[in-house]
Structure 1
Amino acid sequence: MSSTPAHKFKIGLITATIWNNDGFFSVDLTRSYKTQDGDWRNTSSFGHNDLLNLSKCAERSETWIAKQLAANT
Structure 2
Amino acid sequence: MSNLPAHKIRIGLVTATIWNNDGFYSVDLSRSYKNGDNEWKNTSGFFQADLLNAAKCAERAEIWISRQLSNR
Q: TM-score, normalised by structure 1?
A: 0.97
Identity over aligned pairs, percent:
65
Unaligned runs of 5+ in 1: none
In the other structure, the counterpart of 1:21 is 21
CA deviation after TM superposition for structure 1 residue 31, in Å? 0.1
**Hey, what's the Cα distance between the residues in 1 that align with 2:26 and 2:71?**
17
Q: Which runs of 5+ in 2 are unaligned?
A: none
Computed over aligned residues only, the root mean square deviation of the Cα atoms, in angstroms, reads 0.4
Aligned to 2:5: 5
Matching residue of 2:71: 71
Task: Name the aligned partner's letter for residue 60 of structure 2.
Answer: R
**Within 1, Cα distance between the matches of 2:49 and 2:29?**
15
1:9 deviation in Å?
Answer: 0.3
Whichever residue aligns with residue 38 of structure 2, its letter is G
> May I ask how many residue pairs the two structures share in their alignment?
72
Query: Structure 2 length normalisation: TM-score?
Result: 0.98
Q: In structure 1, how many angstroms separate the alpha carbons of the residues matched to 2:3 and 2:37?
A: 29
Q: Once the 2 structures are TM-superposed, how far is the Cα of residue 64 of structure 1 from its aligned partner?
A: 0.3
